[in-house]
Amino acid sequence: MDVGDVGDHAAGPGHIPVLLDRVLEILAPAVQAALDAGRTPVYLDGTLGMGGHAEAMLAAHPALRLIGLDRDTYALERSARRLERFGDRVALEHAVYDEIPEVLDRLDVPRVDAFLFDLGVSSPQLDEADRGFAYSYDAPLDMRMDRTQSLTAAEVVNTYPPAELARILREYGEERFAQRIAAAIVRERAKEPLDSTARLTDLVRTAIPAATRRTGGNPAKRTFQALRIEVNGELEIWRRALPAALDALPVGGRVAVLSYHSLEDRITKQVLATATADHTPPDLPVPLPEHQPRFRLLTRGAEVASETETETNPRAGSVRLRAAERVREAR
């Protein structure tokens, strides 16, 4: 499991879209299939961020229409400026990606030909110190992707019961010292509320055994990942979002997913495995047409970035790409 995207990060001069060429290659046939069918192709970017992938898709396909979703209003503002030159081909929505059905209904869009989900925390969110995502500099314990929501990381560490804190650290951070860290948080907050990333980082460092502190990078990285996932409901949202995206694809439509840690990738793998499976009852001698797979995988396992890309774009070091295409209508 790679958790390098949760805070071991220094502010950089610009945003580099991860696996850009490969994403364009995977999604291009879906755009062409819509054109061949006489439709205006629709591309939905469920995690718009800085708009890098979206800009490249719009530039590569002059007939393409973009629906860009993001829960971060700041990201939407920046992307709107970046994509302004594409005019009315662009529709940006303040929404979380499990709201895809509602967004499509609101925009009166019956189907989407190509989806992209670039999961996890974005580079700008890490770069902005006051967002509290990174342990590499001190900031308020916030971690909200959508700053209009109320729940923050500070509320989690200062109000959650000890057992719930330990569960979050164990399940979402795969932290083997979850119990020790949760107990340390509870002791510390009894003296004074925990309100800064630096205090939390120091607390985690002292809570785990000294031998562990000497290996594996910053010892707080798993705690920060777990809190971020809890604050933003990332895994539960993703469990709802990917099936919703698959349901919106026509035959020939495609979805690409970029994941950055094993928890996200595991959900993606499971959902796509179910969608690409033959559901003929096992006691029948031949496959039944109505039970044939509705989708086919476009990647063998999870694809990773090249060494060249990871050298120029460190965020790509932990990426896992999976993709699928609809081959049959829904039963």
- Binding site: which residues? 51-53, 70, 97, 118, 125
Residues 6+ apart with CB under 8 A from 26: 254, 256, 298, 299, 323
Q: Is 266 exposed, middle or buried (0-12, 13-18, 19+ CB in 10 A)?
A: middle
Instruction: Say if strands 114-118 and 42-45 run parallel, antiparallel, or are unpaired.
Output: parallel
Which residues does the annotation place in the binding site for S-adenosyl-L-methionine? Answer: 51-53, 70, 97, 118, 125
Sequential DSSP letters for 110-168: ---SEEEEE-S--HHHHH-GGG---SSS--BS---SSTTSS--HHHHHHHS-HHHHHHH
- Measured CA to CA in angstroms, residue 281 lies from 149, 270, 288, 295 at distances of 45, 20, 9, 18
Instruction: Please enumerate, as own/partner, the contacts of 266-273 that have beta carbons within 8 Å and a separation of 24 or more.
Output: 267/235, 267/238, 267/239, 267/242, 268/238, 268/242, 268/322, 269/302, 269/322, 271/239, 271/242, 271/243, 271/246, 272/242, 272/297, 272/322, 272/324
